[in-house]
């Protein structure tokens, strides 16, 4: 059942995200978006199969429904982050096909966007592989024996999955979008992650044994030696 839910979920997730690209564009004839969706689905489905074979608990965590223990502040922060994700995606086709306020990226910069997008996706997957407690909502998972994870990418920054999100959406803007959509993406993701990380840090510091020591050991939240 876990395999079925995961593979169906990956497919539906790809369709769901693609809708935020194709619907605002108003056309299906956008080869760059097709490449984006195909790369996302290929990497995500392959990674999920790998995790199902090696660390199924990490997949189970991502499939868990919001807990009754989810703080109210996190519900608000999650809504803000989801809004930031939607805004980041729809900004690309809106400016490319309709507003055309700024030019679309071309050449090396555009190609680098696809590479950054893929790097972000791999970082998200690496975070899942390292942390089997990485649920989609913030709560202390006492029933699962949650503990501090400080290995792998968590030895570099405290929130590597969010770093992956930033790279994922910045890369998407470079590959599919324009200068304006990139500015909108960076601004909206910065706002969304600011509130989400603030709530998550507060919850973990107050409720998870050893997290305060971990935060002193790994000082940076998103980017080593910077943030």
Task: Give the pLDDT confidence score for residue 215 in this predicted structure.
Answer: 92
pLDDT the model gives residue 119? 97
Q: Which helix (H) or strand (E) holds 163?
A: helix 160-176
Residue 32 lies in a domain: yes
- Distance, in Å, from the CA atom of 92 to the CA atom of 100, rounded to the nearest integer, reads 10
Whether 222 is in a domain gets the answer: no
* Cβ proximity of 176 and 165 under 8 Å: no
Tell me if 52 is assigned to some domain: yes
- pLDDT of amino acid 180: 96
Q: Find, among 156, 153, 154, 188, the residue nearest to 170 by Cα.
A: 188
C-alpha atoms less than 13 angstroms from C-alpha of 27 in its C-beta half-sphere: 10
pLDDT given at position 70: 67
Contact between 173 and 181 under an 8 Å Cβ cutoff? The reply is yes
The C-alpha atoms of residue 105 and residue 170 are separated, in whole angstroms, by 12
Q: Which two tokens stand for residue 66?
A: 């919001």
Residue 2 confidence (pLDDT) = 84
- Computed over its alpha carbons, how large is the radius of gyration of the chain? 18
pTM: 0.93
CATH number at residue 46: 1.20.120.1630
Domain span holding position 112 = 2-217
Whether 16 is covered by a domain: the verdict is yes
How many structural domains is the chain composed of? Answer: 1
**Residue 223 falls inside a structural domain:** no
Residue 224 inside a domain? The answer is no
Number of CB atoms found within 10 A of residue 128's CB: 21
CA distance linking residue 216 with residue 227, whole number of Å: 14
Residue 227 placed within a domain: no
What's the pLDDT tens digit per position in 44-89? 999 999 999 998 888 887 776 666 666 778 788 888 989 999 999 9
For the beta carbon of residue 120, count every other beta carbon within 10 angstroms: 21
Q: Would you say residue 37 lies in a domain?
A: yes
Find out whether 178 and 104 touch, Cβ atoms under 8 Å.
yes
Can you spell out the DSSP letters for 59-110?
Answer: HHHHHPPPPTT--HHHHHHHHHHHHHHHHHHHHHHHIIIII--SPBP-HHHH
| Cα-based distances in Å from 197 to 88, 105, 160, 186, 217 | 18, 30, 11, 16, 18
Predicted confidence at residue 137, as pLDDT, reads 76
Q: How far apart are alpha carbons 122 and 164 in whole angstroms?
A: 8
Give the residue among 192, 7, 222, 227 at the shortest CA–CA distance from 82. 192
**Segments of the chain with pLDDT less than 70:** 64-70
């Amino acid at each position: 059942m876990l395999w079925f839910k995961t593979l169906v979920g990956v497919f539906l997730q790809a369709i769901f995200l693609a809708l935020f690209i194709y619907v605002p564009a108003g056309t299906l004839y956008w080869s760059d978006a097709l490449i984006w969706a195909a790369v996302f689905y290929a990497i995500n489905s392959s990674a999920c199969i790998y995790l199902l074979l090696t660390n199924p608990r990490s997949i189970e965590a991502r499939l868990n429904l919001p807990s009754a223990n989810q703080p109210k502040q996190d519900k608000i922060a999650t809504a803000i982050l989801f809004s930031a994700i939607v805004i980041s995606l729809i900004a690309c086709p809106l400016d490319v096909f309709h507003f055309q306020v700024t030019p679309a990226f071309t050449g090396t910069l555009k190609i680098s966007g696809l590479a950054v997008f893929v790097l972000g996706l791999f970082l998200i997957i690496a975070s899942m592989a390292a942390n089997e407690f990485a649920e989609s909502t913030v709560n202390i998972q006492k029933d699962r024996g949650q503990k501090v994870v400080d290995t792998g990418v968590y030895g570099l920054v405290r929130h590597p999955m969010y770093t992956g999100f930033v790279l994922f959406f910045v890369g998407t803007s470079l590959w599919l979008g324009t200068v304006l959509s990139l500015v909108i993406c960076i601004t909206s993701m910065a706002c969304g992650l600011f509130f989400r990380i603030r709530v998550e840090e507060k919850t973990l510091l107050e409720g998870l044994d050893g997290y305060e020591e971990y935060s002193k050991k790994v000082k940076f939240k998103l980017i080593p030696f910077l943030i």
